[in-house]
Structure 1
Amino acid sequence: MSDITVIKTLPPGTSKLYELRIYSIKPSCMGNYLQITKGKYHLRKAHSKLVGSWITEIGDVNEALHLWEYDNLSHRASVRAALGADRTWKVEYANEAHEYFDRQHSQLLSVPWGTVATEPFVEGVVLTGIYQLCALQVRSDAANMDIDKFSQITSIQERLLSEKKTGKLMGVFTTQIGDCDTVYQLWNYKTMDDVLECKEALDNNSFYRSQGAFVKVSSKLLTALTSVSPLL
């Protein structure tokens, strides 16, 4: 256990809030959605900070994901009000783009420790745009213990990627409003195959194996939405 780094939780009130918005796009409309988003999404980004934007490669396909940063819920409310009053945004983007949506899902997240990276993993001068979003459901009756265990496992994954120089942790998030008792990891990788190599190395780690399974684990393989996402 001596090689395990336990990351301390940030004091309350020191973290930003993040909204993860997931849009299920009608399969026949994905091309139209990508075209208008790449051409007009700067109108939305002018109102608040976009952390990243992705399309699901493996997982629930025909999805678009956007991660937004806010100071607090009042800040989010003011941004939403400004968007409602922005005629250019509605006419040139929102009115058309909403026709392509099959479903929308939103969650409010916070950062339990560390920070959210603003620069992707860089191998030479090539930015790969390959990401993985992992979701883990902790137990309500033992949330603090599970999150502490989760932080230790995350540290192991970070060390593996650092040693192999194949990727980095972009951030860890816990759900405040949405899918309750859920913790997310956002990873950036050099190649898609590095995702599986990291999983194999993690499965072979004795501490990881000793922790047993969590309640529920799922993951999505994502690609960054070029010309839209700050994280490529």
Structure 2
Amino acid sequence: MIRSLSNNFRKSLQTAQKRHNSTSGIFELRQYHLKPECVGTYMSEATASSDLRKSLVPLRLFSLPEVGGELNVASHLYFYEGGMKDRAAKRKVSGSNEEWVSFVNSSRSGVRWQESRIYAEAPQFVLDAGGAKGGKWEGEGVSGPGVYEYRRYQLPLGYVTVPNFLEIYASGVQEKIQHQDPETTLCTVMYTEVGKLNEVIEIWRHSCVGGMESSRFMAREAPKWREAIGKMAEIAIKFENEIVNPVGFSNWK
């Protein structure tokens, strides 16, 4: 069964590659670990330069943590529809913008360290199963500010580990979304391309933390999701979730 599932995933990837690799969208998750005493100043400067940021790079979610991990981390999530070539081109333009370079240089004094990882978006059949909006969504249609949940799975090394995991995930998530708070939505599912390999991340939007808790309890009543979780737990070696708050200028709110 696992071999068959893995073949389905590979067929999906091959179909995407035939369309053209350069149009395969990627996410970049950039995280800036801030000095606690500098968070206010950093965010004031980031807010003041937010229109410039969004004119240069395709921002999706800009957030600060609420609970579940290290605090005082500014997380920037970008989606490059044209893949790595698109990212390189846009970063070249931003690197030559004097106003942007000035902001970057000024903000560095408040940053302890930073990191960046590249993720590929899960194949379309996975997004379809979860009703996910995907990276092309720019935040339209939400009724007001919510909270976002990063759910991270670290998987063992191996070429088929991620494909197998996502196949199992897709087999259960369709039933999960039928047992959710009405304002809970799956934004996207992605897996590492560059960085900590074999990491899978789900990003969910909830109306509030209470909505997240309600959705969690309701999902336990979905038999196919519970079955999928059991199989995913046999593969994953680590699981973490984190609640983050989008800042005012974030596209995803």
TM-score higher than 0.5? yes
The 5 Å alignment of 1:153-172 reads 153-161=172-180, 164-172=181-189
Residue number among 86, 97, 105 corresponding to 1:75 in the alignment:
86
- After TM superposition, the score normalised by the length of structure 1 is 0.85
Structure 1 residues 85-124: aligned runs within 5 Å: 85-91=96-102, 93-113=103-123, 114=127, 115-116=134-135, 117-119=137-139, 122=142
The amino acid of 1:225's aligned partner reads V
Q: Indicate the residue corresponding to 2:34 in structure 1.
A: 25
5+ residue gaps, structure 1: 1-6
Aligned structure 1 segments of 4 or more residues deviating by more than 6 angstroms: none
Work out the number of aligned pairs and report it: 219
- What are structure 2's unaligned runs of at least 5 residues? 1-7, 128-133
Report what 2:145 is aligned to.
Answer: 128
Question: 2:46 aligned to 24, 37, 46, which one?
Answer: 37
Higher helix share: 2
Aligned to 2:71: 61
CA RMSD of superposed structures (Å):
2.1
Deviation of the 1:204 alpha carbon: 4.3
How many angstroms apart in 2 are the aligned matches of 1:133 and 1:153?
Answer: 18
Aligned to 1:180: 197
Deviations 1:157-183 (A, max 9, x none): 32222xx31311111111111111111
Please list the CA deviations of residues 170-204 of structure 1 after superposition, one character each: whole Å capped at 9, or x if unmatched: 11111111111111111111121111222223344
Contact 2:66 2:245 in 1 (8 A): yes
C-alpha spacing 1:118/1:80, structure 2 compared with 1 (3 Å) = closer
In structure 2, give the amino acid aligned to 1:41: S
Match among 133, 137, 140 for residue 157 of structure 2: 140
Partner letter of residue 139 of structure 2? E
**CA pair 29-218 structure 1, distance change in 2 beyond 3 A:** same
- 1:115-135 per-residue CA deviation (whole Å, 9 max, x = no partner) reads 33333674xxx4123111111
For 1:51, the aligned partner's letter is: R
* Identical columns (%): 21
Matched residue, 1:197: 214
